[in-house]
Amino acid sequence: MKRLLFAACLALLTANFLPAADALINASARQALSLNGRWHIIIDPYDNGYFNYRHEPHDAAKNPTSGYFLDKKPATPSELIEYDFDHSPSLMVPADWNSQDDKLFYYEGTVWYRRLFDFTPHAPDARQFLHFGAANYEADVYLNGKKLGRHVGGFTPFQFEVTGKLLPSGNSLVVRVNNQRHLEAVPTVNTDWWNYGGLTRDVMLLEAPATHVRDYFIQLKSGSRDRIAGYVQLDGAALAQKVKIEIPELKISTEVTTDTAGRAPLDFALTGATLWSPENPQRYEVIVSAGADRLAEKIGFRTIETRGTDILLNGKSVFLRGICLHEENPLRGGRATTPEDARLLLGWAKELGCNYVRLAHYPHNEYMARIADEMGLLLWAEVPVYWTIHWDDPTTYANAANQLTELIARDHNRASVIIWSMANETPVSPSRTTFLKNLVVLTRSLDSTRLISAAMERHSSPEDPNTSIVEDPLAEVTDLCSFNQYIGWYAGLPDDCAKAKWLINYNKPVIVSEFGADALQGMHGDKLARFTEEYQENLYQQTLPMLEKIPQLRGMTPWILCDFRSPRRPLPGIQDGWNRKGLVGENGTKKKAFFILRDYYAKKAAEAAR
Ligand code: GCU
């Protein structure tokens, strides 16, 4: 393990990744200039802006300027420049490019974005940071012709400090975004979702005092319902100073002094609080102040733990009535990216009677967890370690570890997030299990308060095809035994559910992290006719009693809330590039199976209330 970890750290340094998780916490609460809006673009399928004709990067060490597509005009009529952002097309930011322009629908390559902005600092000694909610899949960022750096990974925030590099007017921000898939990437080349490219989340110029609060972790101590544990981390020159934490509604005000590294542990009583739950998503305003910096946000406090095969929320047994969802607004098409998108998707989950949602298969935008906090939905969050990842490649591990670190750093104060998931449907092998067990060790070192899982797989025994076995060495180190199963769709027919037996030898809570069937909304027929709503309805009717036979069952997230785009689903007239396992069609209409699951969850909720 040490060898892999050392190699991973080396890879991190040589793969010019950003230092993991240096993004400012609670970005939306800070002094900010939004850089959302229309950006001019240049579509660059041969990446000429990044490589010269010898395929050498323009911005290699010997020439640390931006790529070929600098935002400059010919100095003289004879100067040859073959690009001009001002007269190029534009795209909205934040948004994927695929859903904005038919010419980019299947596009995988480089798009150069450029936006000009003026800037006046709010305080003479303030510091400035360019903050990106995410860019899929890799981003090279240039300011006023100079490269700031690169980020790899399509779904987590990153930032660059630009203090002292800004002009009062006409700052030129150029970003190369490339969404090409690679075998050694995370995810790898094959996924069952659309490879939406672009500046898919908010872009902001953040300001913070010279010494400011960069990060804080304020949650209930593991196993305690009345004591806060965590830390606060400053950044700047005056690192050792007093930091105040206030929760006015609870009349809590405590002060700590950070050490010379700017860090201080937090450990104080949380008396009189109403604990957060889906039924009562109570949040409190928490204020963190240090010197000239003052940050506030609403935080919910709850405990989540397992005891044997039970999951306990605030010490009380909970059954996770869930649903999976992709980060896609089916009505508009394209990446879900706004608070309105989050409310639409989570609103449908609430209509279903859910208290829990699996945010598949990658970190979703920050609005999802913040709005889940507000609406009262528990969340499973995951990184795109999906299917056939290159388990032996240290750069791949460093990438996965970096994405996981950035996800945890962003959402570790969200009461809704109760599970960090390491992977989805990854074929068992020694190198895969080492890779994932290392991610588990990393996750526990970053956050000891949440549960760890992964969507594992079942297989049937050779002797008896009706016996499903869940046996995965990774389950030895996760808190939950979660697995996907598709009896009745990929394995046999719905009637086979009644014959199914389960062999799951773990004294742990079991969550069935996927099951489902495709149905074209509005297509009706016999319940054994594939792609009809009746087939999907029948599969749900047969699956639910089958899963109830699993004694350790403590939750499920059927696949999936809404139909979603996938290049793997071409069936003309039925799929047309959509995976149709949604309980809600691409037009927002609910299918018959939606109501089967809704009634089942109503029954489970009534049982829990008794
Ligand atoms: C798999 C996978 C999903 C996929 C689904 C399907 O289990 O985890 O990403 O979309 O099955 O085949 O529809």
- State how far the alpha carbon of 519 is from the alpha carbons of 360, 514, 565, in Å: 20, 16, 14
pTM: 0.95
pLDDT at 539 over 80: yes
The rounded distance, in Å, linking the Cα atoms of 503 and 250 is 48
The rounded distance, in Å, linking the Cα atoms of 528 and 499 is 17
| Choice among 45-59, 118-132, 172-186, 424-438 with the minimum mean pLDDT | 45-59
Q: Which two tokens stand for residue 346?
A: 């989570």
CA 600 / ligand 1 centre spacing (Å):
23
Decide if 138 contacts 182 (C-beta within 8 A): no
pLDDT at 58 over 90: no
The rounded distance, in Å, linking the Cα atoms of 135 and 133 is 7
As a whole number of Å, the end-to-end CA separation of the chain is 48
The rounded distance, in Å, linking the Cα atoms of 300 and 319 is 20
Question: Taking the C-alpha atoms of 415, 28, 407 and 376 in order, what is their torsion angle to the nearest 10 degrees?
Answer: 20
**Residue of minimum CA distance from atom 3 in ligand 1:** 192
Q: What are the beta bridge partners of residue 394?
A: none
CA 486 / ligand 1 centre spacing (Å):
9
- In this prediction, residues 331-338 reach a mean pLDDT of 94
The rounded distance, in Å, linking the Cα atoms of 447 and 427 is 26
**Residue of minimum CA distance from atom 10 in ligand 1:** 192
Q: Which two tokens stand for residue 342?
A: 């989050």
Q: How confident is the model at residue 63 (pLDDT cuts 50, 70, 90)?
A: low
Pick the atom of ligand 1 nearest to 360's CA.
9
Distant-in-sequence, close-in-space partners of 405: CB < 8 Å, separation ≥ 6: 20, 21, 442, 446
Enumerate residues lining ligand 1, CB below 6 A. Answer: 192, 361, 424-425, 484, 514, 559, 579, 581
- In this prediction, residues 558-566 reach a mean pLDDT of 98
Radius of gyration from C-alpha coordinates of the chain: 25
The rounded distance, in Å, linking the Cα atoms of 473 and 358 is 23
**Residue of minimum CA distance from atom 4 in ligand 1:** 192
CA 62 / ligand 1 centre spacing (Å):
45
pLDDT at 201 over 50: yes
**Cβ burial, residue 28 (10 Å; 0-12/13-18/19+):** middle
CA 485 / ligand 1 centre spacing (Å):
10
- State how far the alpha carbon of 195 is from the alpha carbons of 230, 593, 600, in Å: 37, 28, 34
* pLDDT, greater one: 360 or 58: 360
Phi/psi at 2 (nearest 5 deg)?
-60, -40
For position 436, what pLDDT does the model report? 98
CA-based torsion, 354, 355, 361, 362: positive or negative: positive
For position 518, what pLDDT does the model report? 98
Pick the atom of ligand 1 nearest to 566's CA.
10
**Residue of minimum CA distance from atom 6 in ligand 1:** 192
**Residue of minimum CA distance from atom 9 in ligand 1:** 192
Domains and CATH numbers, the chain: 2-207 (2.60.120.260), 223-301 (2.60.40.10), 306-609 (3.20.20.80)
| From 192, 382, 422, mutation site for ligand 1 pocket: most ligand atoms within 8 A of C-beta | 192
Decide if 578 contacts 521 (C-beta within 8 A): no
Decide if 421 contacts 447 (C-beta within 8 A): no
Decide if 21 contacts 406 (C-beta within 8 A): yes
| CA atoms in the 13 A half-sphere facing the CB of 534 | 7
Pick the atom of ligand 1 nearest to 514's CA.
7
For position 62, what pLDDT does the model report? 55
CA 199 / ligand 1 centre spacing (Å):
26
396: DSSP letter? H
The rounded distance, in Å, linking the Cα atoms of 537 and 554 is 22
Which percentage of the chain shows pLDDT scores above 90? 89
Decide if 258 contacts 241 (C-beta within 8 A): yes
- In this prediction, residues 271-281 reach a mean pLDDT of 97
The rounded distance, in Å, linking the Cα atoms of 578 and 566 is 5
Query: What single letter denotes the amino acid at residue 378?
Result: L
Q: Which two tokens stand for residue 181?
A: 């898939």
**Per-residue model confidence as pLDDT tens digits over 440-452:** 999 999 999 999 9
Question: Taking the C-alpha atoms of 357, 360, 365 and 366 in order, what is their torsion angle to the nearest 10 degrees?
Answer: 40
| From 566, 579, 580, 583, mutation site for ligand 1 pocket: most ligand atoms within 8 A of C-beta | 579
Closest C-alpha among 169, 129, 157, 141 to residue 33: 129
CA 123 / ligand 1 centre spacing (Å):
50
CA 326 / ligand 1 centre spacing (Å):
11
For position 10, what pLDDT does the model report? 45
The rounded distance, in Å, linking the Cα atoms of 549 and 500 is 9
595: DSSP letter? H
Pick the atom of ligand 1 nearest to 516's CA.
13
- State how far the alpha carbon of 345 is from the alpha carbons of 133, 331, 563, 584, in Å: 19, 11, 12, 10
State the angle between helix axes of 430-446 and 2-14 in degrees (0 to 180), rounded to the nearest 10.
70
- In this prediction, residues 243-261 reach a mean pLDDT of 98
Pick the atom of ligand 1 nearest to 424's CA.
8
**CA 595 to chain centroid:** 28
| From 559, 574, 583, mutation site for ligand 1 pocket: most ligand atoms within 8 A of C-beta | 559
Pick the atom of ligand 1 nearest to 455's CA.
8
Pick the atom of ligand 1 nearest to 581's CA.
13
pLDDT at 509 over 50: yes
Q: How confident is the model at residue 51 (pLDDT cuts 50, 70, 90)?
A: confident
Pick the atom of ligand 1 nearest to 425's CA.
8
CA 106 / ligand 1 centre spacing (Å):
20
| From 514, 515, 578, mutation site for ligand 1 pocket: most ligand atoms within 8 A of C-beta | 514
CA 23 / ligand 1 centre spacing (Å):
31
Q: What are the beta bridge partners of residue 529?
A: none
CA 194 / ligand 1 centre spacing (Å):
13
- In this prediction, residues 382-399 reach a mean pLDDT of 98
Q: Which two tokens stand for residue 474?
A: 């990774």
pLDDT at 59 over 80: no
**Per-residue model confidence as pLDDT tens digits over 564-580:** 999 999 999 999 999 99
Average pLDDT, the chain: 94
For position 61, what pLDDT does the model report? 52
CA 516 / ligand 1 centre spacing (Å):
9
Pick the atom of ligand 1 nearest to 191's CA.
9
Decide if 154 contacts 94 (C-beta within 8 A): no
CA 192 / ligand 1 centre spacing (Å):
6
Question: Taking the C-alpha atoms of 87, 177, 336 and 98 in order, what is their torsion angle to the nearest 10 degrees?
Answer: 60
CA 18 / ligand 1 centre spacing (Å):
31
For position 57, what pLDDT does the model report? 83
**Per-residue model confidence as pLDDT tens digits over 335-362:** 999 999 999 999 999 999 999 999 999 9
Residues belonging to the chain: 610
